[in-house]
Amino acid sequence: MNIRLAPSILAADFSALGTAIAAVERGGADLIHIDVMDGHFVPNITVGPPVVRSLHRVATVPLDVHLMIAEPDRFVEAFVEAGARMLSVHVEVLPHLQRTLSFIRSLGVAAGAVLNPSTPAEVLAEVVGDVDFVLVMTVNPGSGGQTFLASTESKIRRVRALLDEAGNAAPVEVDGGIDLQTVRRVVSAGAEILVAGSAVFGAGDPEIAARELKAVAVAHAAAIGHGATRTASTADPR
């Protein structure tokens, strides 16, 4: 496993995002996770391509952009041009999911499919060879600081199994309620990319919080015998 930490700016101080990003990068962040919300697919509204473009200028690690929006096809190119290196879209809003994933990959960035807690893993069966990563929501999307849903652990395992059965080494990403208490559970289930918001930016020192969370995840992966790094996807942004 190649454990990567992706702190979510949703929980950061928006008046000092550059400072916040620099802190978690010093703490070992591998990615910066940006939640894009439109007020339709989810109730909140967050940021658009201009903010991603600004963050791209200050971040030294890839930007992982999660489109929680009703019409992602309209905005894929804009977010890629703004600096996204990973771009994930929700299966719940895309009747032509394979086409969207292929288009994202054609732009040279990693394409991810996102599953809400109530969406079964089996919806990926027909596109399992077309994803560079799968994001499993471990809370209902739309706001930060929610409690991890224990029922999603089995879904993480099922998604990992579907990918393995297809010969796809793409990582499983998890987002929602990830902290020092839940991180071992998701790593045991097969998660490799860990999105954490409140557990990092809600702490007194985001640099220390990021370092501790990643250290616990890496140590647990090694302890359970998953220390080997998976073969990277061709669209892996590292």
Q: Specify whether the CB–CB gap between 115 and 84 falls below 8 A.
A: no
Catalytic residue among 30, 35, 64, 236: 35
Instruction: Say which range, 22-36, 69-83, 102-116, 131-145, has the weakest mean pLDDT.
Output: 131-145
175 part of the active site: yes
Q: How far lies 225's CA from each of 167, 173, 184, 218, 231, in Å?
A: 20, 19, 13, 11, 16
CA distance 212 to 206: 10
* Third-level CATH fold of 4-223: TIM Barrel (3.20.20)
35 part of the active site: yes
Q: Which residue would you say has higher pLDDT here, 232 or 30?
A: 30
Chain CA centroid to CA 182, Å: 16
Q: What is the pTM of this model?
A: 0.93
The H-or-E segment that residue 40 falls in is none
Instruction: Report the pLDDT value the prediction gives residue 226, as an integer from 0 to 100.
Output: 60
DSSP state of 16: G
How many beta carbons lie within 10 A of that of residue 78, not counting itself?
A: 14
Catalytic residue among 38, 64, 175, 179: 175
Residues 201-228: tens digit of each pLDDT: 998 899 999 999 999 999 999 999 864 4
